[in-house]
Amino acid sequence: MSDSTGALDSATAVLRDAILGGQRRALARAITLVESTRGDHRKRAGALLAALLPATGRAIRIGISGPPGVGKSTFIEAFGGFLTGLGHQLAVLAIDPSSARSGGSILGDKTRMEALARNPRAYIRPSPSGGTLGGVARRTREALLLVEAAGFDVVIIETVGVGQSETAVADMVDLFLLLAQPASGDDLQGIKRGIMELADLVVVTKADGALVPAANRAAADLRLALHLMRPKTPAWRPQVLTASAVAGAGLDQVWGAIQGFRAAMAGAGELDQLRRGQASRALWREVQDGLADALRRHPGVAALAAQLEARVSAGEITPGVAAERLLERFLGPGGA
Ligand SMILES: Nc1nc2c(ncn2[C@@H]2O[C@H](COP(=O)(O)OP(=O)(O)OP(=O)(O)O)[C@@H](O)[C@H]2O)c(=O)[nH]1
Ligand SMILES: [Mg+2]
């Protein structure tokens, strides 16, 4: 948006420079800004993001998901320690659909990632609370750009695997990593097929002590299941690995697979294509969300909507006709 870059006020320019300089407090303030729904904040956030855009895109973006209790927080803590040990700068963002509903946040997770929270090479930002999944996803996408501009070269976006949030996360990252339990057979099928299809890498965690044989069996089952699915891209076949966050085992193999994925995708030109597709889908989702909001706020529409909804429920008119009337009211005559 060249119009918003031109209009960068001096406070925003200061914020931009502080973020480019990697200053944590400026980054935190900027993320708070993109999380705000206030009109003037949205404008300023837009200008800031436009000014930072050339400095974005350099990180490897990893989505991590898995059912409640699978070991996400423990894994990210261990893997994060491993990555920062290699010299990487790691940012962890979270999408928590339950916090979108309850208005709570997963601050609890920050305490379960104690060492990482104190690690100077890591930055953890809990899920923005409140709002729809669409809203939370948009703010997370923008936070991702901000942490990239601040110099973080690995970004993990975590989500609890309970619903549509995985799809949202998979559509903003390069690689989607699914964590699984050391269980096999029917237990394994707690992972929904739709979620398995999103995975570029499956890691059976807790592969330590007495759980090692079960973890290996689970990995074999998962390999079989993945083998029967159509790969997301011709450049990469999803892999299944085992690891233990507690014992710190297998983390190097996980990182090796992530780098292998990245190289295969970049070599085939698929990474650029993936990110371009994600950006254009995000555009149209925002247009849809914006239109739906404007429609709901339109003074003439609300009253009519209530009436039409009642008539649709009563079977007096079809949803199609009712929708046409609403759009006519919203767009004015000739607009629909
Ligand atoms: N043995 C073993 N236990 C683990 C490992 N990783 C996690 N756990 C245990 O599994 C439990 C759940 O771990 P969390 O990291 O909190 O799991 P989570 O997926 O973040 O859970 P939610 O945030 O509630 O969805 C805890 O009791 C951990 O101690 C591991 O590598 N080995
Ligand atoms: Mg957790």
Q: What was the pLDDT predicted at 128?
A: 72
Q: What was the pLDDT predicted at 72?
A: 93
Top mutation candidate among 70, 73, 74, 159 for ligand 1, by most atoms within 8 Å of CB? 74
> Distance, CA 71 to ligand 2 centroid (Å)?
7
> What does the pLDDT average to over 2-7?
52
> What does the pLDDT average to over 128-134?
73
> What does the pLDDT average to over 212-231?
92
Alpha-carbon span 224 to 215, nearest angstrom: 14
Considering only residues 112 and 110, tell me which one the structure prediction assigns the higher pLDDT.
Answer: 112
Q: What was the pLDDT predicted at 205?
A: 96
Q: What was the pLDDT predicted at 126?
A: 83
Q: Give φ, ψ of 123 to 5 degrees.
A: -135, 120
Q: Which two tokens stand for residue 242?
A: 């085992």
Q: Is the CB of 65 under 6 A from ligand 1?
A: no
pLDDT surpassing 50 at residue 1: no
Model pLDDT for residues 238-269, shown as the tens digit of each residue: 999 999 999 999 999 999 999 999 999 999 89
pLDDT grade for 203, boundaries at 50, 70 and 90: very high
Q: Which two tokens stand for residue 139?
A: 């703010």
Q: What is the overall mean pLDDT for the chain?
A: 88
Q: Is the CB of 69 under 6 A from ligand 1?
A: yes
CA-244 nearest atom, ligand 1? 31
Q: Is the CB of 245 under 6 A from ligand 1?
A: yes
pLDDT surpassing 90 at residue 97: no
Report the percent of the chain where pLDDT is more than 70.
88
Q: Is the CB of 72 under 6 A from ligand 1?
A: yes
What is the DSSP code string of 46-107? HHHHHHHGGG-S-SEEEEEEESTTSSHHHHHHHHHHHHHHTT--EEEEEE-HHHHHHS---H
Cβ 176 vs Cβ 65: under 8 Å: yes
Q: Is the CB of 112 under 6 A from ligand 1?
A: yes
Among 104-113, 167-176, 234-243, 300-309, the least confident range = 104-113
Nearest of 86, 84, 104 to residue 94 by alpha carbon: 104
Model pLDDT for residues 7-56, shown as the tens digit of each residue: 689 999 999 999 999 999 999 999 999 999 898 999 999 999 999 999 99
Q: Which residue stretches of the chain are H helix? A: 2-6, 10-20, 24-35, 39-52, 72-85, 97-102, 107-112, 114-118, 133-149, 165-170, 193-196, 212-227, 251-267, 270-297, 299-313, 319-331
Bridge partners, 217 (sequence order): none
Phi-psi bin for 182: left (phi > 0), alpha (psi -120 to 50), beta? Answer: beta
pLDDT surpassing 50 at residue 153: yes
Q: Which amino acid is present at 62? A: I
Q: Is the CB of 71 under 6 A from ligand 1?
A: yes
* Greatest mean pLDDT range, 83-97, 109-123, 189-203: 83-97
> Distance, CA 249 to ligand 1 centroid (Å)?
15
Name the residue with tokens 């697979």.
Answer: 257
Rg (CA), the chain: 22
pLDDT grade for 193, boundaries at 50, 70 and 90: confident
Which amino acid residue places its CA nearest to atom 32 of ligand 1?
206
pLDDT grade for 230, boundaries at 50, 70 and 90: confident
> What does the pLDDT average to over 183-197?
72
Q: What was the pLDDT predicted at 37?
A: 85
How far, rounded to the nearest angstrom, does the alpha carbon of residue 159 sit from its chain's CA centroid? 7
- Domains in the chain: ranges and CATH: 1-55 (1.20.5.170), 57-268 (3.40.50.300), 281-331 (no CATH)
> What does the pLDDT average to over 287-308?
88
Q: What was the pLDDT predicted at 190?
A: 64
Q: Is the CB of 103 under 6 A from ligand 1?
A: no
> Distance, CA 71 to ligand 1 centroid (Å)?
3
Considering only residues 113 and 85, tell me which one the structure prediction assigns the higher pLDDT.
Answer: 85
Q: What was the pLDDT predicted at 47?
A: 95
Q: Is the CB of 264 under 6 A from ligand 1?
A: no
pLDDT surpassing 60 at residue 156: yes
**Number of C-alpha atoms within 13 angstroms, CB side, residue 297?**
6
